[in-house]
């Protein structure tokens, strides 16, 4: 399987159909594919060779789509960049994967010099914005206009298609290597779970650099759908685009669903075209699902659980499962493309109902972490991806998440690893020691919460800590709440007992849900 295949098919079957809609630009599938083939030629001209990495640092746009497709058509590997990261984080990751080309839009082209300073081998920066192209950068439209279309390199199968950076347990991000088959296996499994019609209109309501949205790019390509991109995805932007372009399919994190359906002006918009809402990151409460079904009267809801390393889907909660309030608290059952098990520390499968680590096997398992063979071997030991998530499974295979081994906080759909925030806070002169946990939050699903033991006599405030973090890590990783304490609960081995810290917050949540 190869990711560019769908583009050939849609040009053959619906050349005059709408391919992309973005910022007032409407392009047919034939036009869009022609631009991709020209841009691929340009990328080859800039020196991109088979397997070379091209990074994309951009808000959602038609040119994000074209850049990713052109990279693959040219035989390259896509590296979508999390634009919420600090410049240092971005430069580090691009240096690590040795990106040869960076595509950056108006919002980020200004960072090009800084990124280049941190990654000396970055040969070319392509400016994909609508504003004037800064000195030293290539103008996207000039590249497209100045090249003749080239044939598709048709790399595929087990070959590397993309590197997707994800937070690391050691406090450094890891590049997850996904092959064409990895991404397409997950996408095809997803498509096998509902009647996905040709002729759909997909709106990206979250950043395309995230695999949760990128996987919809993959299966939208398989189906030859229309893609609608907006630079932002606040509730009214989403509602406006849905109404204007008769959007049929939306991918959202639960937090976004809540922000949309609870917006005071949402009733002014016609959302009746939406037939499917795909969401993830956290389950929906009974109250939220009821409100969502009212606001989106024709939508079927599908929940996915997974992770970047799983390309990304592991379990799926189907539309019919949503009718059962108990099942809605689960993340669904193993998707049609993989196996899911609950195991003990020795990797032995546990009986149904017992809590243990969730492990996954299938054609969607990542090739590995970029340049990290030890961590790859550890994550994929015995042929199963060890998710680091903890849960149990009922007698019908429904999976319920209970905890995370890896100290991962999912806040507004973003992964935040506690250790990275702790490392940052520990550098603050007023902090003696600290622990960072995720606690329930009505808006963000979870929020980053810091528990700090101050240096003797020091006064530590949340504002002070957030300002300190702002210069070092992405804003979404900074604590949103703070407890100042005298001591942290420790295990006999001296490890912070995070479950002790988390318990009071999550117990309250349990009561609120039940």
For binding to a second copy (CB under 8 A), which residues are involved? Answer: 1-2, 5-6, 8-9, 12-15, 154, 156-158, 181, 184-185, 188-189, 191-192, 194-196, 198, 222-223, 318, 333-334, 336-340, 361-363, 383, 393, 395-397
Prior bond to 29 cis, omega within 30? no
Q: How far is the CB of 412 from a second copy (least distance, A)?
A: 31
Complex with a second copy: residue 186 or 230, whichever CB lies closer: 186
24 vs 195 by CB, closer to a second copy = 195
- Residue 17 or 489 having the CB closest to a second copy: 17
Which of 398, 417 has the CB closer to a second copy? 398
C-alpha distance from residue 269 to each of 203, 248, 255, 279, 284 (Å):
16, 14, 20, 21, 23
CB of residue 339 to a second copy, shortest distance in Å? 5
For 471, other C-beta atoms within 10 Å of its C-beta total 9
Of 222 and 482, nearer to a second copy (C-beta) is 222
Smallest separation (angstroms) from a second copy to the CB of 1? 4
Q: How far is the CB of 269 from a second copy (least distance, A)?
A: 28
- In the complex, the smallest distance separating the C-beta of residue 155 from a second copy, rounded to whole angstroms, is 12
Q: For residue 417, which of 172, 208, 86, 81 has the smallest C-alpha distance? A: 172
Q: How far is the CB of 348 from a second copy (least distance, A)?
A: 12
Instruction: Give, to the nearest 10 degrees, the angle between helix 211-223 and helix 180-191.
Output: 70
Length of the chain: 514
Whether residue 231 contacts residue 61, with contact meaning beta carbons closer than 8 Å, is answered with yes
**How many of the other CB atoms lie within 10 Å of CB of 482?**
18
Please, which residue, 351 or 494, has the CB nearer to a second copy?
A: 351
CB 429 within 8 A of CB 490: no
Q: How far is the CB of 225 from a second copy (least distance, A)?
A: 12
CB of 216 to a second copy, least distance (A): 14
In the complex, the smallest distance separating the C-beta of residue 340 from a second copy, rounded to whole angstroms, is 8
Map residue 386 onto helix, strand or coil.
strand
For 107-112, the CB contacts below 8 A with 24+ separation are 107/58, 107/59, 107/83, 108/57, 108/58, 108/83, 109/133, 109/134, 109/137, 110/134, 111/57, 111/87, 112/136, 112/137
Tokens in use for 177?
């290597």
Extract the runs of DSSP E, i.e. beta strands, from 264-319: 276-280, 300-306, 313-317
Which residue lies nearer to a second copy by CB, 120 or 383?
383
Nearer to a second copy by Cβ, of 95 and 350: the residue is: 350
Our CB check for a second copy shows the closer of 6 and 175 to be 6
**Residue 26 CB, nearest distance to a second copy (Å)?**
20
Q: How far apart are CA 62 and CA 18, in angstroms?
A: 12
Proportion of the chain in helix, strand, coil states, percent, rounded to 5: 35, 25, 40
Shortest distance in whole angstroms from residue 437 CB to a second copy: 32
Residue 319: partners with Cβ closer than 8 Å, 6 or more residues away: 194, 300, 301, 302
Residue 102 parent element (H or E): strand 101-104
The smaller minimum CB distance to a second copy, of residues 14 and 449, is found at: 14
If the CB atoms of residues 129 and 224 are measured against a second copy, the closer one turns out to be 224
SS3 (DSSP) at 308: helix
Nearest distance in Å: CB 224, a second copy: 9
The CA-based angle 85-373-94, given to 5 degrees, is 30
- Three state DSSP letters for 481-495: EEEECCCCCECCCCC
Report how many helices (DSSP H) and strands (DSSP E) the chain contains, helices first: 16, 26
CB nearer to a second copy: give 58 or 193: 193
List residues bridging with 433 in a β-sheet: 453
């Amino acid at each position: 399987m190869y990711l560019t295949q769908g583009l050939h098919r849609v040009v053959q079957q619906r050349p005059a159909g709408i391919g992309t809609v973005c910022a007032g630009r409407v392009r047919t599938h034939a036009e869009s594919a022609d631009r991709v083939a020209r841009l691929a030629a340009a990328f080859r001209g800039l020196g991109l060779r088979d397997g070379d990495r091209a990074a994309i640092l951009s808000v959602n746009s038609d040119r994000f789509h074209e850049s990713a497709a052109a990279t693959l058509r040219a035989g390259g590997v896509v590296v979508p960049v999390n634009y919420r990261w600090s410049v240092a984080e971005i430069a580090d990751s691009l240096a690590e994967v040795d990106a040869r080309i960076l595509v950056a839009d108006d919002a980020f082209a200004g960072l090009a010099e800084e990124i280049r300073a941190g990654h000396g081998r970055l040969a070319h920066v392509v400016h994909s914005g609508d504003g004037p192209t800064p000195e030293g950068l290539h103008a996207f439209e000039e590249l497209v206009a100045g090249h003749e279309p080239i044939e598709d390199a048709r790399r595929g199968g087990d070959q590397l298609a993309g590197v997707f950076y994800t937070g690391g347990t050691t406090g450094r991000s890891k590049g997850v290597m996904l092959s064409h088959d990895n991404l397409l296996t997950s996408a095809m499994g997803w498509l096998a779970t509902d009647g996905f019609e040709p002729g759909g209109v997909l709106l990206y309501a979250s950043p395309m650099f995230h695999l949760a949205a990128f996987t919809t790019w993959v299966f939208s390509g398989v189906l030859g759908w229309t893609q609608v991109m907006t630079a932002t995805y606040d509730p009214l932007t989403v509602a406006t685009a849905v109404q204007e372009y008769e959007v049929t399919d939306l991918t959202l994190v639960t937090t976004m669903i809540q922000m949309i359906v609870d917006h005071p002006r949402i009733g002014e918009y016609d959302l009746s075209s939406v037939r499917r809402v795909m969401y993830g990151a956290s389950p929906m409460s009974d109250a939220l699902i009821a409100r969502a079904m009212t606001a989106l009267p024709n939508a079927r809801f599908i929940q996915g659980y997974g992770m970047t390393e799983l390309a990304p889907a592991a379990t799926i909660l189907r539309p019919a499962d949503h009718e059962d309030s108990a099942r809605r608290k689960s993340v669904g059952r193993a998707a049609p493309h993989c196996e899911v098990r609950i195991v003990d520390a020795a990797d032995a499968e546990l009986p149904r109902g017992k809590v243990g680590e969730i492990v996954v096997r299938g054609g969607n398992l990542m090739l590995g972490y970029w340049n990290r063979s030890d961590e790859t071997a550890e994550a994929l030991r015995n042929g199963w991806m060890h998710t680091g998530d903890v849960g149990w499974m009922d007698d019908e295979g429904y999976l319920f998440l209970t905890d995370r081994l890896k100290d991962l906080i999912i806040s507004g759909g973003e992964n935040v690893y506690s250790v990275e925030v702790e490392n940052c806070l520990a550098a603050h002169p007023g902090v003696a020691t600290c622990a960072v946990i995720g606690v329930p939050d009505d808006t963000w699903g979870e929020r980053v919460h810091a528990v700090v033991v101050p240096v003797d006599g020091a006064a530590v405030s949340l504002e002070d800590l957030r300002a300190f973090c702002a210069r070092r890590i992405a804003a979404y990783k900074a604590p949103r709440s703070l407890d100042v304490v005298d001591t942290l609960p420790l295990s006999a081995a001296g490890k912070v007992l995070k479950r002790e810290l988390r318990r009071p917050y999550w117990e309250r949540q349990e009561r609120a849900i039940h």
